[in-house]
Amino acid sequence: MGRSPSDLIIFVLKRLVQLIPVLFGVIVLTFFFTHLDAGNICNAWYPHAGAATIKNCEATANQPILTQFYQYFINLLQGNWGASVTGVLVYPYIAAAVPATLELVLAALFIMIFIGIPLGVIAAQYSGRLGDHLVRIFYLSGWATPTYLGAVIAAVFVGPYLGLPNHGEYSTLAPPFHQYTHMSVLDALIAGNLPYTIDAISHLILPAAVLAFINMGIATRMTRASMLEVLPLDYVRSARMKGLTEFWVMYKHALRNALITTTTVLGVTAGGLLAGTVVVEEVFDWPGIGQYAYTAIGGGGSTPNYAGAVAVVIIFAVAVVVANLIADILYGVLDPRVDWR
Amino acid sequence: MTEPVLRIQNLSISYTVGAGTFQAVSDVTLDIYPGRVVGIVGETGCGKSTLAQAIPRLMPEPPGSIGAGRIMFRGTDLVKVPKSKMPMVRGTGIGMIFQEPLNSLNPAYRVFDQIVESIQIRHFRDLGLVKSFQGGDKPFDYSKRPTTSVGSALTKGIVPDGAAEQAVKERIRTKSDYRKEVLDYLRLVRINDPETIIDLYPHELSGGMRQRIMIAMALSEKPSLLIADEPTSALDVTIQAQVLTLMKDLIDEVDASILFISHDLGVIAETADEIGVMYAGRIIEYGPVDEVFRSPRHPYTKMLLAAAPRIYKADGSLRSIPGNVPNLSRPPPGCRFHPRCPIAKPICKVDPPPLAPVPPSDPALAPDAHKSACYFPEEVPGLP
């Protein structure tokens, strides 16, 4: 059996190598979907640009499609992701927006894991009784809430009621320290600025909670279902017989096995979380990729930003693929029956 | 006479399924004395596993529930212990080996992690670090607990008399100490290569090996009562023989009373000192193994023994007991065996016969050593 740490490195490397063709496929699809579009692509890319730019663009657009793809691919690798109509470069903007979204998604995942999973355990423990019903009402109401509605209710009613900020990353526009990571809480921590750290966390709570509440259902529901599968098994009884308290029986013995399924499903929800960020970030004015996506497709009356939209599609696709990769690796780590070699 | 380790009195257990109630165990009385091995034998569904699981209160409640009776363990009635406090009782003096070794080990943890848990729980309880079962009238009265905790020993250690520090040193164990102890238990259950086995996951082990691990896990709690619920039934015949040999060796080595549940008469004959024969939730015959096997005094026992396949039997045909096991949601009135009994009389259909002493065939035995729940035990030897 290959379960030594060196085997794990091979296991992860193998998965990473498998990632390369997937990512290439994503780029191919995005490119051809956006370039095989009928009509004058240059007008779409540069709707208000001058004649010189359009002419430049048309010179490119008249080249064979494979040449264009080669050029596009090289540019992509070099970080030359184009610019919006107003001349704002896409790459630097996205490089700052991705960490902000990552922070939001990680915070939402944190809530889903540390609240959603224990709720699933409680529901399974009290299956068919009041606790189970309350948990199910809770996660189903999250599941049934449209993102825009949940976000607006949280921003307009819940936030002011709890005294939580509902706008941006910090209370001031520009924090008095350098943003190394573009993750608001982490940057404040690196700067050692405690008031700003607290400020950043309080700004993070509402959007993360909304994102988590809407996607919580899948974590709770999967945990509940797999716990119900595990609880009647003999090894749970063995654990009880040892004299372990119900808490350890549930969380050490039963949940450890139930998590194997839940982890896989959580990886798949990454897509849902990202889709949620588009609305949540716009409502809470969170400077992340979701908000960027919203403005790039012309949301809120902004000028459409074709290069930006394409970049967002690629980023989202990469994010979903990477999330699945992480879930895949975690599955291998959690289930001792998976051979790493 | 010494006090019994476990004293079950008039225990009745029922399961409620839908609208029906199954009387799985009715009015069972059983004493297990220190160092004795009591075998319980019976057909599938006679309530023997329910009885075994009811002692540490492991049966699912609901649907199961204890209707009446007492389970006296170390001076405490386990029936009255609230469910939330049962974890403190389990693993304190009661060890259990289950029927299904394939599923009884947690697939996510290595052998070491599973056995060390039992050792740690016992260790912490011995130290007084966690609340635990005390036995007696007030089983959870922690005020009487001796102050042997590491914490109190440390505070005493401020006074430099040396003894307290020594006590602490002896009590605090490192992972390598635990590993040594786990290895000892693996050797105790005759595992040849404990250094390798200790780091394996259950799915990497064979059925017999897993059952050995289960036995090691139960023994590592240092139980005064070990309940073996069909420990060999799910294994291959050759492995069964190995595990049985191991169990027999351990019975002599380990200072524990054993309740051995099996449907296999041969297994009980080899291991037990005393045997209780269960039928439809009741113990219908009880006595020393040799006595019961040589001169059964209940028609069911007699017929069960006759039905056991023997390789050297003159005629090759297998015998069986005519009729079926009664439906326990509507058990027959009177003696539950009467519909299948060749010597049933009218009284058998009215009143259930009590488990009463019968004169033992061996005059060396105590007059009440052999009991049978039959009105006509003297007619049993005449049965074919």
ipTM for the predicted complex: 0.82
- The whole-angstrom separation of Cα B324 and Cα A125 is 38
pLDDT exceeds 80 at position B323: no
Residues A188 and A196 sit within 8 Å (Cβ to Cβ): yes
Q: Is B358 helix (H, G, I), strand (E, B) or coil?
A: coil
Q: What is the pTM of this model?
A: 0.83
Residues B171-184: tens digit of each pLDDT: 667 788 888 888 98
Residue A225: what pLDDT?
Answer: 94
Mean pLDDT of chain A: 86
Token pair listed for A161: 């009621």
Residues B23-71: tens digit of each pLDDT: 888 888 888 888 888 989 888 878 888 888 888 888 877 787 888 888 8
Q: Average pLDDT, stretch B95-106?
A: 84
User: Which DSSP category does B32 fall into?
Assistant: E
User: Which DSSP category does A115 fall into?
Assistant: I
Q: How far is B297 from chain A (nearest CA, A)?
A: 36
Given the DSSP bridges, would you call strands B274-279 and B282-288 parallel, antiparallel or unpaired? antiparallel
pLDDT exceeds 70 at position B312: no
Chain B residues with beta carbon closer than 8 angstroms to that of A335: 108
Residue B342: what pLDDT?
Answer: 81
Q: Give the count of Cβ contacts less than 8 A between chain A and B.
A: 75
pLDDT exceeds 90 at position A207: yes
Token pair listed for A9: 């490195």
Contact B56 A246 (CB under 8 A): no
Residue B165: what pLDDT?
Answer: 57
- The whole-angstrom separation of Cα B327 and Cα A317 is 61
pLDDT exceeds 60 at position B155: no
User: Which DSSP category does A48 fall into?
Assistant: T
Q: Give, in order, the Cα–Cα distances in Å from A115 to each of A131, A135, A209, A318.
A: 15, 11, 11, 27
Q: How far is B221 from chain A (nearest CA, A)?
A: 8
User: Which of A 115-174 lie inside 8 A of B, CB atoms?
Assistant: none
Residue A12: what pLDDT?
Answer: 87
Q: Under an 8 Å CB criterion, which residues of B touch A?
A: 56, 58, 84, 87-92, 95-96, 98, 100, 103-110, 117-118, 121, 125, 201, 203-204, 214, 217-218, 221
- The whole-angstrom separation of Cα B167 and Cα B154 is 9
Residue A220: what pLDDT?
Answer: 93
Contact B92 A235 (CB under 8 A): no
pLDDT exceeds 90 at position B243: no
On whether any CB of chain B is under 8 Å from the CB of A242, the answer is yes
Q: How far is A15 from chain B (nearest CA, A)?
A: 23
Return the number of other C-beta atoms located less than 10 Å from residue B229's C-beta. Answer: 21
- Quote the Cα angle for A185-A189-A193, to 5°: 105
Rounded to the nearest 10°, the torsion over CA A150, A309, A81, A32 is 130
Token pair listed for A168: 């941006």
Residue appearing with tokens 């307009």: A156
User: Which DSSP category does B80 fall into?
Assistant: T
Residues A270-324: tens digit of each pLDDT: 777 888 888 999 999 888 898 888 888 887 777 777 788 888 888 888 888 888 8
Contact B201 A336 (CB under 8 A): yes
User: Angle, nearest 10°, between helix axes A130-144 and A117-125?
Assistant: 140
The set of residues, in sequence order, having a beta carbon less than 8 Å from that of A322 and lying 6+ positions away, is A19
Residue A314: what pLDDT?
Answer: 87
| Higher-confidence position of B155 and A273 | A273
pLDDT exceeds 90 at position A226: yes
Residue B1: what pLDDT?
Answer: 55
Q: Give, in order, the Cα–Cα distances in Å from A34 to each of A28, A29, A42, A294, A306.
A: 10, 8, 11, 17, 9
Mean pLDDT of chain B: 80
Chain B residues with beta carbon closer than 8 angstroms to that of A239: 106, 117
Strand partners, B97: B228
| Higher-confidence position of B20 and B144 | B20
pLDDT-based confidence at B16, cuts 50/70/90?
A: confident
**Which of A242, A333, A339 is the best mutation test for B, with the most CBs of B within 10 A?**
A242
Q: How far is A255 from chain B (nearest CA, A)?
A: 10
- Quote the Cα angle for A9-A12-A14, to 5°: 105
Backbone angle region of A85, left / alpha / beta, with phi > 0 → left and psi within -120 to 50 → alpha: alpha
Q: Using CB atoms, which residue from B84, B103, B107 is nearest to A337?
A: B107
Contact A243 B96 (CB under 8 A): no
Chain A residues with beta carbon closer than 8 angstroms to that of B61: none
CA neighbor of A261 nearest in space, from A232, A323, A212, A218: A218
Contact A238 B201 (CB under 8 A): no
Terminal Cα-to-Cα distance of chain A (whole angstroms): 8
Comparing alpha-carbon positions, the chain B residue that sits nearest to A237 is B58
Q: Average pLDDT, stretch B354-366?
A: 79
CA neighbor of B274 nearest in space, from B285, B43, B355, B98: B285
Return the number of other C-beta atoms located less than 10 Å from residue B366's C-beta. Answer: 9
- The whole-angstrom separation of Cα B113 and Cα B328 is 41
- The whole-angstrom separation of Cα A294 and Cα A276 is 12
* Percentage of chain A modeled with pLDDT above 70: 95
pLDDT exceeds 70 at position A37: no
pLDDT exceeds 80 at position B195: yes
Residue B152: what pLDDT?
Answer: 56
Q: Average pLDDT, stretch B368-373?
A: 83
pLDDT-based confidence at A39, cuts 50/70/90?
A: low
Chain B residues with beta carbon closer than 8 angstroms to that of A229: none
Contact B98 A257 (CB under 8 A): no
Number of H helices, E strands in chain B: 12, 12
Chain A residues with beta carbon closer than 8 angstroms to that of B119: none
